[in-house]
Structure 1
Amino acid sequence: MPELPEVEALAHDLDSRLRDRAITRIDLAAFNALKTFDPPVHALHGTLVDRVGRHGKFLDIEAGGLHLVIHLARAGWIRWREEVPALPAKPGGKSPLAMRIVLDEDEAGHTNGLDVTEAGTKKSLAAYVVRDPQEVEGIARLGPDPLVDEFTPQALAAILAEAGRAQLKGVLRHQGTIAGIGNAYSDEILHAARMSPFKPASSLDDDEVAVLHDAIKVTLGDAVQRSTGLAASELKGEKKSHMAVHGRTGKPCPDCDDTVREVSFADSSLQYCPTCQTGGKPLADRRMSRLLK
């Protein structure tokens, strides 16, 4: 799933490509991806793109006083096309294409565009055409962005205190608490902070809050710095190549050489290092325990 660093890099890349370009048309190949009806999609036809930005993990293409907001969900992605087909994309079928944004001709005479795609059978990608991004419920509910100056250790301490005994992993992932952090970077942040994913949020003292705050800022900031300037096609590989524990079950921890462990849930999993994060004690994996009985 694209998280804050990848969406930030996508927004930066798309802004450089789309700004001041005209949207010729938008083809909907998956009607269920569009979650709004007023304004209609065709209201964006003929408008100039003013900017491309980000709200948490939501992309925001602003054009003609409207906003095309896209949430890529678990398996969505955006692909730049130097030349799009002349005929509009057809809805239905088994194609991963959900939406195609067709631009005016570039200086070389090519009709550029974006393909918004979603792999797999579980379709969760969502697009909205709105006058104000705050009309999108998911954006209106977002917590603070962890990369802004206002996200201080004191702000984090207040968030953790309000979360009570909730586990740190869940608090970091909850978009209404902190915007933009998902499954992968929450694993990486907790590994950098040397904290168990199951540690209760309100149990952190001031020094631990400062350590966690620094881990959030550095982990996300470094990922954004590495990703910015890369083309969309390179972002997934860049993300995967710099993970210390996430997605590395059974491999050695890069810091202590212990084996990275996993805890599985119904539709996701977390990875961690026992030596670095849990005092050498493996966490209980209830799903695997049931399978072994």
Structure 2
Amino acid sequence: MPEMPEVESLVRFLRPVCIGRVIAQVDLVAFSALKTYDPPLTALHGLEIEAAERHGKFIDLSAQGLHLVFHLARAGWLRWKDEVPQKPVRPSVKNPLSLRLRLDDGSGFELTEAGTQRKLAVYVTADPSSIPHVAGLGPDPLSDDFDAAAFDALLKEAGRSQLKGVLRDQKIIAGIGNAYSDEILHAAKLSPFKGANTLTDEEQARLFGAIKTELAGAMERAEGLAAKDLKGEKKAGLRVHGRKGETCPVCGDTIAEVSFHDSSLQYCPTCQTGGKKLADRRLSKLLK
């Protein structure tokens, strides 16, 4: 799933290639992706793109009073093309293409989504804050307003909630997903199941620092990369997420995993849980 560092990198990639260009054509292929109907997609035709911004994991292209906002969800991606085909695409359940946008110079991008689940979302609106998921976003973790005091208040509000869930909840902190929450907790040497209100001052400071450094580091590694190279860079930069059975680069222990019905997390027992293996949640359900 593209998370804040990848989405921010996509926005930075789009700015020089899109701003100042006019939208020539927008073709919707996966009708389930479009979440708004007024104004229609065709209202974007002929408008000049003026800005590219990010709201959490949402990308926002503004064009003369309208905004094309999209969320890539778990399996979506943006593919840039120097020459966008003009031939219409036939909708198909096997076709990963969700939307195609062509600019006045022939370039543009396609939004694709792998797999059978269709969660990629596209909106056309005059105000991004009218989108409920955007309006409900928590603070951006790399903003100047997100300081130690704000983080302390956030954890107090979260109460007994587990740290893994707190980091992933977009209403609490915007932009962090499954991968970077694993990386942040590993860097902070904290269990994913530790309660938010049980942290010592030192643990809280470690977690706050890890949020800032892990996300900033990921964005620095992605700086200047083309859209097609961002996925590979993200995977190469991860120390624990997606690396079950591999060696922890910090202590040498074997990276372990906890599986849920639709996702999984990875962690290092030595670094994060005092050597204790956490119970697999899927297996625990079956044994009850």
Provide the TM-score with structure 2 as the length reference: 0.97
Partner residue, 1:108: none
Tell me how far apart the structure 1 counterparts of residues 152 and 223 of structure 2 sit (CA, whole Å): 29
- How far off its partner does 1:164 sit? 0.7
Does structure 2 conserve the Cα–Cα contact (< 8 Å) formed by 1:8 and 1:228?
A: no
Distance 2:110 2:184 in 1: 32
CA distance in 1, matches of 2:152, 2:146: 10
Once the two structures are superposed, residues 105-140 of structure 1 have per-residue CA deviations (whole angstroms, 9 ceiling, x without a partner) of: 2xxxxx112111001100000000010110111100
Residue identity in the other structure for 1:16: P
Please give the alpha-carbon distance, in whole angstroms, between the structure 2 residues aligned to 1:144 and 1:228.
23
Residues in 2 aligned to 1:130 and 1:200: alpha-carbon distance in whole angstroms: 39
- Tell me the equivalent position of 2:187: 192
Percent identity between the aligned chains?
A: 60
Please name the residue that 1:213 is paired with: 208
What SS class does the counterpart of residue 62 from structure 1 fall into? strand
What's 2:44 paired with? 44
* Equivalent in 138, 153, 161 of residue 156 of structure 2: 161
Aligned partner of residue 52 in structure 2, secondary structure: strand
Deviation at 1:206, TM superposition (A): 2.1
Which amino acid is 2:60 matched to? D
How far is the alpha carbon of 1:65 from its aligned partner? 1.0
Per-residue CA deviation, residues 53-95 of structure 1 (Å, 9 max, x unaligned), is 1000000011111110000000000001111222233333521
1 CA distance for matches of 2:147 and 2:118? 36
Partner of 2:257: 262
Given candidates 204, 226, 229, the residue that maps to 1:231 is: 226
Could you tell me how far 1:275 is from its partner in structure 2?
A: 0.3
How far has the Cα of 1:208 moved from its partner? Answer: 1.7
In structure 1, what residue type is equivalent to 2:276?
K
Aligned counterpart, 1:2: 2
Which amino acid in 2 is paired with 1:60? Answer: D
Letter in 2 for 1:274: P
Aligned mate of 1:276, from 271, 277, 280: 271
Equivalence for 1:139: 134
- 2:280 is aligned to 285
Q: What's the secondary structure of 2:221's corresponding residue?
A: helix
Give distance in 1, aligned partners of 2:214 and 2:251: 18
Q: For residues 156-199 of structure 1, what are the alpha-carbon distances to aligned partners after superposition, in whole Å with 9 as ceiling and x for unaligned?
A: 11111111111000000000000000000000000000000000
CA offset digits 1:181-233 (Å, max 9, x no partner): 00000000000000000000011122221111100000000101111211111
1:31-110 correspondence to structure 2 within 5 Å: 31-105=31-105
Quick check: 1:253–1:260 contact (8 Å CA) kept in 2? yes
SS where residue 10 of structure 2 aligns? helix
For residues 101 and 253 of structure 1, the distance between their equivalents in structure 2, rounded to whole angstroms, comes to 42
Distance 2:129 2:7 in 1: 18
Distance 1:205 1:279 in 2: 16
Asked whether the equivalents of residues 69 and 129 of structure 1 are also in contact (C-alpha less than 8 Å), the reply is yes
Give the 5 Å matches for 1:107-122.
111-122=106-117
State how far apart, in whole Å, the 1-side matches of 2:231 and 2:125 are: 29
> What SS does structure 2 have at the residue aligned with 1:49?
coil
Contact 1:194-1:277 within 8 A present in 2 as well: yes
Distance in 2, Cα, partners of 1:86 & 1:69: 22
Counterparts of 1:9 and 1:99, CA distance in 2: 20
Quote the Cα distance in structure 2 between the aligned partners of 1:65 and 1:290: 50
SS at match of 2:104: strand
For normalisation by structure 1, the TM-score amounts to: 0.96
Give the Å deviation of 1:239.
0.4
Distance 1:252 1:228 in 2: 28
